[in-house]
């Protein structure tokens, strides 16, 4: 059997400590922001009936070639989640919760793509969706939620691209004009081009083919075909963003890769990433999708943010050092071996400190080595001499003089907490 069987499959990756701390911090920041915005967590299955995902569009890359589909032992046709909106809308249609239904999620996504940095076969998304309101204020709120999250992480080189895909009234005229233009100007581009144009000409606009780009550049633009209602909606979204001080760039060719989009669409791109994978998040309205899944007519809007890409952007902008938070406040080194260390570590943890220790009766020297490796700021040493007057020895590992001080055993948790607060203030 080849070695490679015991490696994460191509396009997937493990997330290990200490890097996983940044992952957890990003999720916590998003969860907190979503809570403050009034969004509740939704958890849907990792697989759904194939038809749920087919609703994202027969002409999309995800449905045509990237889906992890399978038949279960009962003969059901299922697929692993390639994107997060369809399952949330499926859950809405199934449960009919009161609207507005405001939800957020954290979920793994699966797409059979060509793996490269920032593009994986399994990636994770943080996302949010709002169902039941077509007020442009909701578009602004949803965009502000994502925008604030990037700010929470300290990202400053992220730009917001904004477009409108029009509504049921404006889209058909545009699609017809685009189809006619593309057939006219791309006659020599071959079968794939013609098939796309016939099935859904919008899918040509986001194609990566080099030789199609000139024709795409000069294609008619959706914004010229918007109905009065669609224009009014789009203008109110822009006014709302401006009133919150959120900068955006109009991007008339931003069509995004799913057929369900209507009206507002947006993407956040990071200038700290390679252009081919620079989208750190994207989303838009999908006002027909609930109805397409057999539900009542229900407008919806949301976005998905790729966690891996956001963390790559953090590395690029902030450096790996600053992006990572220290794991441990204090390491307890035990020279007594009488159970006192067990009690002290338990007490520190209950008091809210991150505390660790060595196991297996290691020598003092070996324990000090582990304390160093743990990157804890403080070492608390339980030694015989200090124990005689109910005290412990504490050492600040960042103190270049390496001085040790004695702290009364009963005061040590409070002392460490006070030091931790003081260091936090230093960093503010
Ligand atoms: P999406 O643009 O396909 O939208 O994906 C959202 C984000 O997930 C992207 O901006 C990117 O950061 C990340 N991402 C996508 N594919 C990969 C990949 N192969 N590897 C790493 N990261 C990736 C959606 O999925 C929609 N469901 C978003 C949405 C929600 N629209 C409305 N509501």
CA dihedral 254, 29, 238, 272 (to 10 degrees): -50
Distance CA 198, CA 179 (A): 7
Q: What are the backbone angles phi and psi of residue 306, rounded to the nearest 5°? A: -80, 115
Distance 88 CA to ligand 1 centre (A): 15
In this prediction, residue 58 carries a pLDDT of 86
| C-alpha of residue 311 to centroid of ligand 1, in Å | 14
**Whole-number pLDDT of residue 168:** 81
Q: Give just the sign of the alpha carbon dihedral 190, 194, 195, 200.
A: positive
Query: What pLDDT was estimated at residue 327?
Result: 74
Which DSSP category does 81 fall into? -
Q: What is the pTM of this model?
A: 0.91
Q: What is the pLDDT of residues 69-119, one digit of tens each?
A: 999 999 999 999 999 999 999 999 999 999 999 999 999 999 999 999 999
Stretches in the chain below the pLDDT threshold 70:
1-3, 321-326, 427-428
Report how far residue 208's alpha carbon sits from residue 203's, in angstroms, rounded to the nearest whole number: 10
Q: 91, 102, 123, 153: which to mutate for ligand 1, most atoms within 8 A of CB?
A: 123
Q: What's the CA-to-centroid distance between 282 and ligand 1, angstroms?
A: 6
Instruction: Give all strands of the β-sheet with 69-71 in edge-to-edge order.
Output: 47-49, 77-80, 69-71
Q: What is the pLDDT of residue 235?
A: 97
Taking only the tens place, the pLDDT of each residue in 336-372 is 989 999 999 999 999 999 999 999 989 999 999 999 9
Q: From the CA of 285, give the closest atom in ligand 1.
A: 32
């Amino acid at each position: 059997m080849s070695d490679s069987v015991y490696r994460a499959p191509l396009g997937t990756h493990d997330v290990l400590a200490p890097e996983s701390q940044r992952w957890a911090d990003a999720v916590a920041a998003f969860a907190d922001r979503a809570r403050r915005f009034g969004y509740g967590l939704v958890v849907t299955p990792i697989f759904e009936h194939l038809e749920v995902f087919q609703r994202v569009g027969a002409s999309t890359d995800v449905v045509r070639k990237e889906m992890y589909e399978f038949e279960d032992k009962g003969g059901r046709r299922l697929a692993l989640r390639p994107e997060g909106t369809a399952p949330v809308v499926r859950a809405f249609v199934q449960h009919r919760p009161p609207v507005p239904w405001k939800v957020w999620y954290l979920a793994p996504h699966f797409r059979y793509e060509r793996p490269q940095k920032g593009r994986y076969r399994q990636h994770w998304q943080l996302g949010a969706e709002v169902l039941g309101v077509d007020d442009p204020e909701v578009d602004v709120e949803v965009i502000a939620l994502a925008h604030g999250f990037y700010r929470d992480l300290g990202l400053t080189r992220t730009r917001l691209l904004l477009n409108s895909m029009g509504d049921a009234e404006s889209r058909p005229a545009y699609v017809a004009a685009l189809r006619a233009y593309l057939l006219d100007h791309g006659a020599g581009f071959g079968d794939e081009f013609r098939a796309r144009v016939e099935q859904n000409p919008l899918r040509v606009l986001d194609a990566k083919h080099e030789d199609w780009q000139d024709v795409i550049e000069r294609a008619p633009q959706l914004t010229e075909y918007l109905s009065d209602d669609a224009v009014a909606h789009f203008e109110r979204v822009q006014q709302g963003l401006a009133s919150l001080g959120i900068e955006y760039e109009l991007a008339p060719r931003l069509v995004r890769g799913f057929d369900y989009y209507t009206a507002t669409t947006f993407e956040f791109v990071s200038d700290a990433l390679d252009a081919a994978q620079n989208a750190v998040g994207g989303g838009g309205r999908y006002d027909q999708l609930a109805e397409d899944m057999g539900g009542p007519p229900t407008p919806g809007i949301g976005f998905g943010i790729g966690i891996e890409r956001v963390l790559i952007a953090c590395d690029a902008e902030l450096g790996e050092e600053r992006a990572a938070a220290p794991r441990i406040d204090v390491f307890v080194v035990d020279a007594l071996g009488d159970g006192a260390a067990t009690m002290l570590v338990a007490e520190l943890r209950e008091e809210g400190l991150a505390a660790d220790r060595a196991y297996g009766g290691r020598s003092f020297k070996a324990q000090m080595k582990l304390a160093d490796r743990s990157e804890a700021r403080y070492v608390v040493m339980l030694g015989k001499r200090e124990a005689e007057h109910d005290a412990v020895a504490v050492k600040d590992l960042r103190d270049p003089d390496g001085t040790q001080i004695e702290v009364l055993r009963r005061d040590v948790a409070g002392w460490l907490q006070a030091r931790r607060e003081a260091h936090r203030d230093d960093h503010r």
